[in-house]
Amino acid sequence: MKSLATFLTLAAMAPLAKPADTDSVDSVVHAVYDVISGPAGTRDWNRFRSLFAEGARLIPIRVTAEGSSANVMTPDDYAKRAGASFEKTAFYESEAARRLETFGNIAHVFSTYESRRAPGDQPFARGINSFQLVKVGGAWKVMTILWDSERPENPLPEKISQVDWLVSCGIGILTSPQPDAV
């Protein structure tokens, strides 16, 4: 009985996703960009957490004089770290191009991003977010976001900085910034 009470308490605390945020791969990716973007201030971190599968990770690549390394975070870790910055600074991130491949209940989205301080501004950063998603109980959830930023020694390849990127293997789905739902 005690374990049932614990389970019910934890289930009640888990954020529930809006069905429209998780009904397709496109809607989840769009929701991630939407929830982290905005003027300086608080983000909807419950909505953010609801987009991720259990055990999900966010992994930025950090480059220092010693080389590159992966910084593994949970969605809560990211909310704490980014939230402090977002409270003080406007941040808008949008998708500029995408490559999507799906197989059964898994999907991979190679999403070229641009970061701005205000909509319409020139990007202050660009890079690639590599989303791995899983379909859980009929809802698409993010399992991993791994990303790397563009740098002088690491420019975006021309083929993926364009809005349309052909899928050479023939098993993917070609999309643009506002693709049809998968």
Res. 1 pLDDT band, cuts 50 70 90: low
pTM above 0.85, yes or no: no
Supply the DSSP string of the chain, one letter for each residue.
-HHHHHHHHHHHHSPPPPHHHHSSHHHHHHHHHHHH-BSSS---HHHHHHTEEEEEEEEEEEEETTEEEE--B-HHHHHHHHHHHHHHS-BEEEEEEEEEEEETTEEEEEEEEEEESSTTSPPSEEEEEEEEEEEETTEEEEEEEEEEE-BTTBPPPHHHHSSB---TTSSSEE--SSPPP-
Q: Identify the weakest region by mean pLDDT among 46-50, 102-106, 153-157, 167-171.
A: 167-171
Q: Percent of the chain scored above 90 by pLDDT?
A: 75
Mean pLDDT across the chain, nearest whole number?
85
| pLDDT(167) > 70 | no
pLDDT, one tens digit per residue, over 125-158 is 999 999 999 999 999 999 999 999 999 999 998 8
Q: Give the tens place of pLDDT for each residue, 91-125.
A: 999 999 999 999 999 999 999 999 999 999 999 99
The lowest-confidence range among 53-57, 67-71, 101-105, 171-175 is 171-175
Torsion angle, CA of 101/106/112/118, rounded to 10 degrees? 140
Q: Which domains does the chain have, with CATH numbers?
A: 17-173 (3.10.450.50)
Band (15; pLDDT cuts 50, 70, 90): low
pLDDT interval class at 17 (50, 70, 90)? low
